[in-house]
Amino acid sequence: MKVFINKRIPETGITMLKEAGLEITIPENDDLSREKWLQYCKNTDAILNVGANAFDHEFFDQCPNVKAIALFSVGFDHVDIKEANKRNIPIGNTPDVLSRATSDVAFLLMQSVSRRASFYFQKVKAGNWGNFDPLYELGQELYGKTLGVFGLGRIGFEMAEKCKKAFGMNIIYHNRNHNDEAEKELDAKYVSFDELIEQSDVLSIHANFKPEQSNLFNASVFERMKKNAIFVNTARGGFHDQKDLYQALVSGQIWGAGLDVTNPEPIEDNDPILQLSNVCVLPHIGSATIEARNGMARLAAENIIAFSKGEKMPHIANPEVY
């Protein structure tokens, strides 16, 4: 079976695929245009895809030979699942192995914003240590405050647990369903969306993104948040309206923002949000650890290998195809 991998992945995944006897193609130059990417896809049986290439109606029409897709990500919002189901194509993903790493970044962003660490680091790099000023660009402490989690799955649970143990934060959350584990172990409280945005001192997004949630966090939401609130997004940039977020920050409607994802992504280098002292932006590095990326490579390879044997993918976004 022919497998196309569009970018380099950790060797552990490559080794697994080779030992399974699969024929692997990895382009030497992995900065592919969509046209060139499609050419590779047309001539393969299965794809192990890294990045946000769109698997839409056009793709499936142009690549009828593709029988399976394994994503090097937990998110699958760039895949038209209905179209994949219609064509009986399983879509694998990589859940759980990046939960700790991604929650670490959310925790890092929360602290960086609360103490304006990114702003002060830039001042030091510029040689502007400054004189002691008791009132200049002060941060805020997090002890005993309320963390609101939008989407309390595995990553959200890891973030909540860190906040509970480190700062004694109170945990509230909004989910499609109640999270019994979080309620039992973290004393988390299920609240409505309105209560979440109105009661959170830190609001952290960890939900799977759906098109109907585009710009869910916009001006009308930011207006109702606390003045001291820190907005953290490590899920998908599409959740927030970035222009509205900027206005909320400069007007003092909310206190700060930490972003590992932006809207658009990548962020434009002249985006005014980058100039604010109460903002920290990272380039989507939630899973960027050796351990997480090795785990993702292993799960993606397991999905491809299982499919090659006629078995169900063990980590699958659309189990209904089986």
Is 224 catalytic? The answer is no
Q: What percent of the chain has pLDDT over 70?
A: 100
Instruction: Pick the closest to residue 172 from 180, 182, 162, 181 (CA basis).
Output: 182
pLDDT tens, residue by residue, 85-97:
999 999 999 999 9
Active-site choice (154, 236, 240, 298)? 236
Q: Which tokens sit at 186?
A: 């973290």
Q: What is the mean pLDDT of residues 152-171?
A: 98
- So what's the pLDDT on residue 248? 98
- So what's the pLDDT on residue 84? 98
Counted residue by residue, the chain has a size of 322
Is 178 catalytic? The answer is no
Q: Which tokens sit at 201?
A: 């001192």
Q: What is the mean pLDDT of residues 265-279?
A: 97
Helix H segments across 43-153? 57-62, 81-86, 99-114, 117-125
Is 265 catalytic? The answer is yes
- Mean pLDDT of the residues in the chain: 97
**Encoded amino acid at 185, one letter:** E
Given a cut of 90, whether residue 42 has pLDDT beyond it is: yes
- Domains in the chain and their CATH numbers? 2-95+289-321 (3.40.50.720), 99-281 (3.40.50.720)
Active-site choice (284, 293, 298, 315)? 284
Q: Which tokens sit at 130?
A: 């400054």
- So what's the pLDDT on residue 130? 87
Range 195-208 burial, b when 16+ CB lie within 10 A, else e: ebbebbbbbbbbbe
Strands 23-25 and 68-71: unpaired
Q: What is the mean pLDDT of residues 230-244?
A: 98
